[in-house]
A = this chain, B = another copy of it.
Amino acid sequence: MSHVLVGGELVVALSGGVGGAKLALGLSRILPAEELLVVANTGDDFEHLGLTICPDIDTLTYALAGLDNPATGWGRRDETWSFMETIATLGGADWFRLGDRDLALHVERTRRLGAGQSLSQITADVCRRLGVGPRVLPMSDDRVRTRVRSESGWIDFQDYFVRQQCRPVVQQLAFTGAADARPQPEVMAALAGGNVRAVVICPSNPFISIEPILAVPGLRAALDNCGAPVVAVSPIVDGRAVKGPTAKMMQELGLPVSSASVAARYGDLLDGYVVDAGDAGGIRAKLHVTSTLMTTLEDREALAREVLGFADRLR
């Protein structure tokens, strides 16, 4: 699948899980499809029940297709659970909840990966079939796996995140395979194309959603050198993470739970930073203060507009 851009500019968004998918959806609703490219974290992909599962790609895809489950924040809406009920009776692993409809994507993706298709190809085809207009691409077609070290040693990310429900105290994170991973070529071509309007770092967990993307050799430099402003949206609102273990991780890693801590992680990469009122202290990047909480669809669109407007003013 190739997109030929004639004249139009491109917004490149980096996204992890639910928060990222919310802003990506907002961006998708205010931009023509061909002007948005979303780069998804694959560090929390994992192999489970013999299937390759890509939670962040799927959260993005379902959100952009309008198939996401607003009640859970993961999986699909109108889901059924017969598979999960049954696999428990067979002694299979049931700690990672896979709905019957969601499962179809994992089975079909695993089959196609086994047949030699790349994750990018599969993701593009799934997006096309589900009616997703913007490009969604993995940060790499090579395998990168986030690992978490706690006092009981190194464990896989989903073991930490889902099976142990983020209970272990995080001492260190590693992105296994990242050093040898090749950045997704279409992403690199887009960044080198000279027509990037803005790079948007979505309000995802910096440690487990964005840093795996930045750890792929060449990607951070390509973002830095693409000629467009790099603008992040802080995932911290009122000194707390909107969702997930971001705040708990920051505490465990000895960092203040603040938007400034997140900005410090991104360092010189940032040209601008969008923060919620009350979280604006101690940040070196240019700031745009606005409400960053995305509850409704209108919130998502409004924040997307604010972020792009701010980025345009930074050019």
Binding site for B on A (CB under 8 A): 49-51, 79-80, 82-87, 89-92, 99-101, 103-105, 107-108, 110-111, 114, 125-126, 129-130
Contact = CB atoms under 8 A, between A and B. Distances in A.
Contact of A108 (B80, B85, B92): B92
Given A80-B80, A100-B80, A125-B91, A86 B105 contact: yes
A84 B101 CA distance: 8
- Copies per complex? 2
- Report which residue of A91, A100, A125 has the largest number of chain B beta carbons within 10 angstroms of its beta carbon: A100
Nearest to A101: B86
B100 A86 contact: yes
A155 to B, nearest CB: 19
A86 B85 CA distance: 18
B107 A82 contact: no
Given A86-B105, A92-B111, 17 more contacts: A49-B111, A50-B50, A50-B107, A50-B111, A50-B114, A80-B82, A80-B100, A82-B82, A82-B104, A84-B104, A86-B104, A90-B104, A91-B129, A92-B104, A92-B108, A100-B103, A107-B107
A84 to B, nearest CB: 8
